[in-house]
Chains A and B, each alone.
Chain A
């Protein structure tokens, strides 16, 4: 084993470099923080952003081939490079938002910067995993760092509670995942995705090992993407964590969860599609309805966005369903299956990007507009009159809300259009109808934010913070939301190309 591995490493440093940079950057920042006494507060954030941007740049100028790394433990392809780019981009935005409020009481946490780098490293490894062990390593690296990010606001009880909850439930879900992996290992005789694929193709599928194993793994993934009924942690954790961490979790962690869910679903295709399909469609519908209906009743903006992010996970699950849909048939089955697979896969990736943009913009604004001192600071009614006091922030927020609601000409509409198109193409019209009914329900609570900002007069206790860097960053995100809504073609094509890069 060793003599195979070591000569390989030399040629593999190139593709591994982005991972090494993020990992090394995290360690470096930790050391810098510990030993350099003269550090100003912003310096760490510059360094962290530099590391993330550096990783992306190295990846862009580096090798663009599809290769298996580390003896088949990891792969690099357009798919993994796309997710690396997405994670690093979200990371940079999150660092900007976090830095924007760090002079608020109790919010300066130098450990935030290495932690967010480690989280991103975990996600990158997760998206690139080609082996159950790498998958678990990536997932746990990501999760452990996130537990601290959530619970690390010293002296804030809500934050500690959220961190603790996330830790306990996350531990549970990891146990499920591990059990599922053990069963799959028992079936395939190896932990590599390649080995599993070979074993599946060989026929003789052991229903208990494969069925139960993949079902348990689905529970683990479902927890990460906040799929109902494994979503219980979401509102409390999103609510308790600082808004910039919540924004990060709602976008990056969800994207990471879907990255591995999509890869795993394709790995299990087509043998398990028939088993997964009914279960997953029930979960998807439940996820959409629960998310949207509960969001209707929220007064706290972060909880509202938390529930709405559950609903968005439901829409994305519809895309996954289209991808694994067994409804294909006829003589051109393979052709059609491929076509549907690509269109739904591209739709999922496109939606993830669009969703990340609009959600980050929203959370970035929530981050600076809310007191971080307690529940009442995040009451939606605090935003009354925002359109007069902070017109730019209010306009950005309004566009983010309309886009999340799926109104054209914003990216949220185009994302839903591509997703539902794939669902209809797969012949799942009832699911598409349930999907549009849900986006209809969601309109009401998104509009409510606009109503408060634009149509209610400011009240005395309306608090509107000032921090222009975050506002400008959010506005840039919003410009992207509009641009991708009007000219989505190039992005969609790129997504389709990326999706073709999934190789095993």
Chain B
């Protein structure tokens, strides 16, 4: 047992890869391959539960650390570690893993083994990205994510899959290579690739601006931040359902995770310099995404654009530079992963039955498929951010954080504009729901559609449970990340204090308690 628990991060990361190799070599039958892949993903989830149980959120910092020399006599290491922020995102990844595989049971009939192998390979790359504490290791995992996703979109995608796959690959690559130059520069300064050593490098103002720009570009493309979002709708629409769920559920979070983990703590000057601009882009993204979503005739495209809007919220929260906004950003990352993941699964369900996603082809589906309609309603409301569901908490915290931000230019206006995004979100989601599910069942082809099968219910139910659970018990996540947020932001905090000589209520965290809700408390006094 200690063999596993001593190297738990390695196991969690590489069990899917082992499964993937087994799928390509040993497992020969398609039906067996599905069961095998599901088993691997479930094992990985169980392993990751060990992390959830044993992570000490009071102590914070990086736990379960593994460090083995890799290159250059220990200047570059195989260095894994996990803090609260990584933890919640890892749990999201391993939780969605089996669900995604189960959802492809009937949808993918062609080259099943390869498809599952790519999915598992992707899971390894994503988990490695969340665990990596060494910049080169991080970069390797980060780039390795591209390969399976590229094949998933390109082989199993829709009509314009090749265009979408290549666009996805090249867009993401554009950002990453500039980040690589930044990493090399810092490596040269720090003499090591370790993130902790990068933190120690004293950087002058201009260098910070350039480096921040290089890192931010890589992450902003992944998020995607307006106006770098154009690859996303193509990728989402062409990707098979499972691909869309991974993309929306986890891959997009890589960008915001990277901002929070690398770009913000490493370059505080860059952050304070660019934060006002970035927040404007984020707000544009929120409203633009919502407006474009509103006019989409295709359900999947609508959900894709809603992602642009939701991720705009996350970026706004992060760059409000308040601990409340950042905690809200992390929470929204999870909530969006669940609600949008569920929406893509549901769209996949109807697409499997009807081979169309046009809103105008539907209407009155609620009569024919009541269970499906109920699940869809829950996911819709979660996406809108109805109180009592996961989406609400995060967006509320982000808006509050932005409103009280002292670093943003006209923060209150930003918060108000972003809030209109919530309203628009309600409009486009409910309008879509109304046109698809309510009214009369007019289209002949929709009569006789079977409701959700047991497998589909099994796929969707866990997500639904967590949507409610997180909605009423947000502490489940927030308790785990608060210490880590404070720790990640320490360098930034110091700079802010130094720069503005700010009064106490402007600091990001309450030094006594380290609680991220400080500014809300003080606003309400």
Q: Which residues of A contact B (CB under 8 A)?
A: 402, 407-409, 413, 417, 420-421, 424-425, 429, 432-433, 436-437, 439-440, 443-444, 447, 450-451, 454-456, 488-489, 492
Take A407-B146, A420-B184 as given contacts and tell me if A444 and B155 are in contact as well, using a CB distance cutoff of 8 Å.
no
A-contacting 9-mer, from B171-179, B296-304, B449-457, B465-473? B171-179
What's the Cα separation between A447 and B180 when bound, in Å?
Answer: 20
Contact in complex: A439, B177 (CB < 8 Å): yes
Contact in complex: A407, B147 (CB < 8 Å): yes
- Give B180's nearest chain A residue, CB to CB: A436
What's the Cα separation between A436 and B70 when bound, in Å?
Answer: 24
Given B70, B155, B166, B181, which contacts A489 in the complex, CB threshold below 8 Å?
B70
What's the Cα separation between A424 and B178 when bound, in Å?
Answer: 13
- Give A399's nearest chain B residue, CB to CB: B147
What's the Cα separation between A413 and B178 when bound, in Å?
Answer: 14
Contact in complex: B178, A433 (CB < 8 Å): yes
Specify which chain A residues have a CB less than 8 angstroms from the CB of B165 in the assembled complex. Answer: 451, 455
Given A407, A424, A425, which contacts B181 in the complex, CB threshold below 8 Å?
A424
What's the Cα separation between A437 and B155 when bound, in Å?
Answer: 27
Give residues 167-197 of B contacting A (CB, 8 Å).
169-170, 173-174, 177-178, 180-181, 184-185, 187-188
Specify which chain B residues have a CB less than 8 angstroms from the CB of A456 in the assembled complex. Answer: 162
Take A437-B177, A447-B166 as given contacts and tell me if A409 and B184 are in contact as well, using a CB distance cutoff of 8 Å.
no
Q: How many contacts A-B (CB < 8 Å)?
A: 73
What's the Cα separation between A436 and B176 when bound, in Å?
Answer: 10
Specify which chain A residues have a CB less than 8 angstroms from the CB of B181 in the assembled complex. Answer: 420, 424, 429, 432-433, 436
- Give A343's nearest chain B residue, CB to CB: B72
Specify which chain A residues have a CB less than 8 angstroms from the CB of B185 in the assembled complex. Answer: 424, 429
Q: A424-B181, A443-B173, A455-B162 are in contact. List 6 more A-B contacts (CB 8 A).
A: A408-B143, A417-B180, A421-B187, A436-B181, A444-B166, A454-B154
Q: Mark B135-154, 1 if CB is under 8 A from A, else 0.
A: 01001100110110011001
Contact in complex: B184, A407 (CB < 8 Å): no
Contact in complex: A413, B140 (CB < 8 Å): yes
Contact in complex: B161, A447 (CB < 8 Å): no
Specify which chain A residues have a CB less than 8 angstroms from the CB of B371 in the assembled complex. Answer: none
Main secondary structure of the interface of A (DSSP, over half): helix
Take A455-B165, A489-B71 as given contacts and tell me if A424 and B184 are in contact as well, using a CB distance cutoff of 8 Å.
yes
Contact in complex: A444, B170 (CB < 8 Å): yes
What's the Cα separation between A443 and B169 when bound, in Å?
Answer: 9
Specify which chain A residues have a CB less than 8 angstroms from the CB of B143 in the assembled complex. Answer: 407-408, 413
Take A409-B140, A444-B170, A455-B165 as given contacts and tell me if A436 and B177 are in contact as well, using a CB distance cutoff of 8 Å.
yes
Q: Which residues of B contact A (CB under 8 A)?
A: 70-72, 136, 139-140, 143-144, 146-147, 150-151, 154-155, 161-162, 165-166, 169-170, 173-174, 177-178, 180-181, 184-185, 187-188
Distance between A344 CB and nearest chain B CB, rounded to angstroms: 13
Smallest CB-CB A-B distances: 10 pairs: A436-B177, A408-B140, A424-B184, A455-B154, A408-B143, A489-B71, A455-B162, A425-B188, A421-B184, A432-B181
Contact in complex: A440, B166 (CB < 8 Å): no
16 A–B contact pairs at CB < 8 A? A407-B144, A408-B143, A417-B136, A420-B184, A424-B187, A424-B188, A432-B184, A436-B177, A436-B178, A447-B166, A450-B154, A451-B162, A451-B165, A454-B154, A455-B162, A489-B71
Contact in complex: A447, B155 (CB < 8 Å): no
Contact in complex: B170, A492 (CB < 8 Å): no
- Give A437's nearest chain B residue, CB to CB: B177
Specify which chain A residues have a CB less than 8 angstroms from the CB of B155 in the assembled complex. Answer: 454-455
Specify which chain B residues have a CB less than 8 angstroms from the CB of A439 in the assembled complex. Answer: 177
Specify which chain A residues have a CB less than 8 angstroms from the CB of B178 in the assembled complex. Answer: 433, 436
Given B70, B144, B151, B184, which contacts A408 in the complex, CB threshold below 8 Å?
B144
- Give B187's nearest chain A residue, CB to CB: A421
Contact in complex: A489, B72 (CB < 8 Å): yes
Which among B70, B161, B174, B184 has the highest number of chain A CB atoms within 10 Å? B184
Specify which chain A residues have a CB less than 8 angstroms from the CB of B71 in the assembled complex. Answer: 488-489, 492
